[in-house]
Amino acid sequence: MKKTHASIYFVAVIAFLFYSCSQNETDSVDAKAESQQFKIINVTNHDGKSFSTGDAKSSETGKYVENPGGGVMMQAFYWDVPAGGNWWNTVNGKLTDWSNAGIGSIWLPPASKAQNGPLSMGYDPTDYFDFGDYNQNGTIETRFGSKTELVNLITKAHAENMKVYADIVLNHNSGGQSEANPFTGTNTWTNFTGIASGKFKRTYNNFYKNSFGNNDEGFFGGFPDLCHADPYVQDWLWIRADGVGKYYKNTMKFDGWRFDYVKGFGPWVVNAWNANVGGFSVGEYWDANVNTLEWWANNANSSVFDFACYYKMNDAFDGNNLALLNDDMMWKRNPFKAVTFVTNHDTDEISSKLLAYSYILTHEGYPTLFYKDYEETLDKNKLNNLIWIHNNKATGNTSILYSDNDEYVARRNGYNGNPGLVVYINNSTSWQERWVETNWASTQIKDFTGNSSWYPTTQGDKWVKIQCPPKGYTVWSVNQ
C-alpha cells in the first residue's frame, strides 16, 4: 500500500482513489527456535535455512553481510523525494557512510517508468523495462534519475558489501491506452502494446476481469488489476530468462524484492517468484493480526513487514503502556521472516522514535531504518550506536525480564560465545533502577549506549542492578 496522491493516479479519463508481565521472565520463542538462534557468525536466509560463511563479515572488507535477523536495512527513500532525476545520485553519495555504520542493505523505490512520468514515485508502473532510458510518459529519466545512474548506484552498493532490494509493484499497472474490452463491454485503459521497451506488452486479456475470472484477491486505486493466473503474465514476470524478475536480478543486479500491496493477489504469486527468481523477499501485507502475517509469510515463502510489532510499539511508547510489548508479534513467531520498522513512506505514527529504534535494533527480526529518521530527524550518532549494538551484541533468543506501563527490560541470551545483552527502556520522566537476572555471574558489565556511567558487577547468582535515564534506554553487556 502507498499514499494516494491524485497526481500519480491521473489516467486520461479516470482518477480513482483507499497485560502486564510479572518479574518472572518469559521466553518469547519456543524450543524449536533454539535451532534457529543466530549470532554474527551464523547467517540465515529469508526462509530460515542456515548457510555457513565462517564469519558474517566479508573477509575482504570486514563489513557485515545481509541476513534477516543479522543485518540492518535502510529504506533509502521517503514519499515525494525531490523530483528532477537526482535521487539515485543522492543515495549513491551516502552508501559508503551507511556501510561504514553497519547498514547491510538498501531498499529502493520502484525503479521503472510509471504513468506520471517525472513526478511519479513509481507505484503506478507502465513499463517494467524502462529505468530512465526511453522517452515515454513525458520524460526520459524517472523521478529518481537515469538507468546509468541506477546501475552506478547498485554497483557502488555492491562494492560497499551492501545488498540492494527493488520495490516491485505486481498488483496493478497504469498508463495504458484505451481499448474496447469485450469482458466489460466498455473501453478500459489496458492497452500496453505501445510501451517503449517493447517487452511485456499487455492488453485487456491480461487484466481482470478476463477469461480467467472476474477478480483476484484485491484491486487498488481503480488501476487495471494484473491477472497472475494468466500464463503469459507468469512467463513475463518470473519464468522467462529475459522477464521482469530475472532481468532485474541477473542484468540489473538487484539482490531482493520488496513486494508492494501483496493483499492484492494470492501469496502463491510471491512463492512462485521466489522459486523461479530467488533473492531475499519481503511483502507489504498491511495487517496488525500476527496470525495473518504468519499465514502470508509461510504461504509466500517470504519475509513480511511486522505490522503487528509496529502497532504494538505505537501503543506502547506513545500510549505509555510498555507492557503491550509482551504481546504477540511476527518476530516472536519467526524472527527470520519478520522485517521490523519504526516508520516508512506510508505511515509515520510513532512519536517516541528513538525508544522504538532501541527496541527493534536490540530484538530479533530484520530491522529497517527510515531515510528521513536517519538523515534528517533523529540523532544519527545514537542510531549508529544502536546499529553497532545490533551487529555486535544482539544475539540469541529473547527473554522478557520485566515490564509495566513505564519500564521494559529484555535479555538477548547470546549464542556461540557471544554474551548477548540486556536492554532497559524507560518511558517515564525520571531515572529508574531495577534488579534483573543476567546470564553472567560475577562479571563486570557496562552500558554500551553511554547513557549510564555505571560499571556494575553481577552477583554470583547473576543478578545485578542497572539503571535507565528518563525517556531513554540503556543496553548492557559484558565489559569487553
414 located within any domain: no
To the question of whether residue 406 is assigned a binding role by annotation, the answer is yes
Please check whether residue 204 is in contact with residue 188, taking contact to mean a CB–CB distance below 8 angstroms: yes
List the grid coordinates of 86: 537526482
Question: How far apart are the two ends of the chain, measured CA to CA in Å?
Answer: 45
* pLDDT tens track for 56-70: 333 233 222 343 347
Q: Is residue 451 part of a domain?
A: no
Q: Helix, strand, or coil here: 393? A: helix
Instruction: Reply yes or no on whether the pLDDT at 421 is more than 50.
Output: yes
| Between residues 1 and 298, the one the model is more confident about | 298
326 occurs within a structural domain: no
pTM to 2 decimal places: 0.87
> Residue 139: helix, strand or coil by DSSP?
strand
Spacing of C-alpha 343 from chain mean position: 10
**Which is higher by pLDDT, 278 or 50?**
278
pLDDT tens string 191-226: 999 999 999 999 999 999 999 999 999 888 889 999
Averaged pLDDT for residues 379-394: 96
User: Any idea which residue has 524478475 for its cell?
Assistant: 245
Give the DSSP letter string of 253-306: ---EEEES-GGGS-HHHHHHHHHHH-SEEEE------HHHHHHHHHHHTSEEE-
The answer to whether residue 348 scores a pLDDT higher than 90 is: yes
DSSP secondary structure code for residue 376 in this structure: I
Parent domain of 74? 43-305
pLDDT above 80 for 22: no
The stretch 35-40 carries a mean pLDDT of: 28
144 within a domain of the structure (yes/no): yes
Tell me how many domains the chain contains: 1
Interval 443-470: pLDDT, tens: 999 999 999 999 999 999 999 999 999 9
Could you tell me if residue 430 is inside a domain? Answer: no
In a domain, 10, yes or no: no
pLDDT digits (tens, 9 = 90+) for 70-80: 789 999 999 99
Q: Which residues contact 178 (CB under 8 A, 6 or more apart)?
A: 12, 13, 187, 188, 189, 191
Q: How many CB atoms lie within 10 A of CB 327?
A: 16
Share of the chain above pLDDT 90, in %: 83
Q: For residue 38, is pLDDT > 60?
A: no
Mean pLDDT of 258-275: 98
Kindly report the CATH number assigned to the domain that includes residue 188: 3.20.20.80
Residues 92, 156 contacting (CB under 8 angstroms): yes
Q: Which residues are catalytic?
A: 260, 284
In a domain, residue 187? The reply is yes
Q: Where would I find the H helices in 347-430? A: 353-360, 371-372, 380-393
State yes or no: 171 annotated in a binding site.
Answer: yes
Q: What is the pLDDT of residue 221?
A: 83
Q: Tell me if 418 is assigned to some domain.
A: no
